[in-house]
């Protein structure tokens, strides 16, 4: 079974629109960590954020914000006022303490921001 | 810090040839992960090491693939013999602060097997 599900395969938005990327995870651990990574067209994987399972406080970093809800096992990522440079594939990932902290990645959401 | 360093960045080889990909993790990181990325299958974990010991190699596709980590600063992923379906980008990554920290990825090795 998929531990991390990113149901949106591709999203296109017009520049300056807000966009939310969904991530749903599955775990039985009480201690786990959630991550978002960005993969721009150049191919490298860039770390964006890490949250632990005990901290449900939402986080904002510039135009980026993350909504962590344990009740729905979701860790959604919102980009406000999108820009062309935000065009990339975004991956959500889960790390569980009991599996030796192996990282599980979702299949990614390809975001295209149209100028 | 230099980050995770992978080589080669690009490799084109013919079917049947041996391929060796190399990785130097960030100094002080005790774990190392090898991932493969393809359009069809996304990011797949191949194997990961903790303190130079392979912990989980269940993602290694078949016996043609092997990985080693002879010391804390070097790892190799070998494919012998290579096949066209092995064409992919291979990433090496190491986590900061143990396995609960964020993964730092290398720039990847793009392999094309003709």
Dihedral angle at the C-alpha atoms of B86, A4, B103, A101, nearest 10 degrees?
-100
Give residue-wise pLDDT tens across range B48-101.
898 899 988 888 988 999 999 999 999 999 999 999 999 999 999 988 766 567
> Tokens 């290398």 sit at which residue?
B106
B51-70 residues touching A, CB cutoff 8 A: 55-56
Mean pLDDT by 10 residues, chain A (115 residues): 89 97 94 93 91 87 94 96 97 83 87 97
Smallest CA–CA distance, residue B92 to chain A, in Å, is 11
Q: Could B108 and A43 be called an inter-chain contact, meaning their C-beta atoms sit closer than 8 Å?
A: yes
| pLDDT confidence of residue B14 | 97
Angle formed at CA A60 by CA A25 and CA A80, multiple of 5 degrees: 90
Distance from C-alpha of B46 to C-alpha of A25, rounded to nearest angstrom: 21
Percent of chain B with pLDDT over 90: 65
> Is there a contact between A108 and B100 if contact means CB atoms under 8 Å apart?
no
User: Which residues from A are below 8 Å from B94, CB to CB?
Assistant: none
Token pair of A62 as six digits: 């510039």
CA end-to-end span of chain B: 36
């Amino acid at each position: 079974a998929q531990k991390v599900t990113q149901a949106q395969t591709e999203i296109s938005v017009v520049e300056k629109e807000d966009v939310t990327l969904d991530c749903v995870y599955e775990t039985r651990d009480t201690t786990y960590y959630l991550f978002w990574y960005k993969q721009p067209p150049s191919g490298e994987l860039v770390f964006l954020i890490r949250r632990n399972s005990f901290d449900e406080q939402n986080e904002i970093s510039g135009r980026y914000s993350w909504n962590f809800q344990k009740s729905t096992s979701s860790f959604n990522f919102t980009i406000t006022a999108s820009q062309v440079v935000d065009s990339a594939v975004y991956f959500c990932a889960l790390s569980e303490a009991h599996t030796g902290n192996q990282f599980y990645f979702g299949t990614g959401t390809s975001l295209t921001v149209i100028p | 810090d230099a980050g995770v360093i992978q080589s080669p960045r690009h490799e084109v080889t013919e079917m049947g040839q041996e391929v060796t990909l190399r990785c130097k993790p960030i100094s002080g990181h005790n774990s190392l992960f090898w991932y493969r990325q393809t359009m069809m299958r996304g990011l797949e974990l191949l194997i990961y090491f903790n303190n130079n010991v392979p912990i989980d190699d269940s993602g290694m596709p078949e016996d043609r693939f092997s990985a080693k980590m002879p010391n804390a600063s070097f790892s190799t992923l070998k494919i012998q013999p290579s096949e066209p379906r092995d064409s992919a980008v291979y990433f090496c990554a190491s986590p900061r602060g143990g396995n609960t920290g964020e993964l730092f990825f290398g720039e990847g090795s793009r392999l094309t097997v003709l």
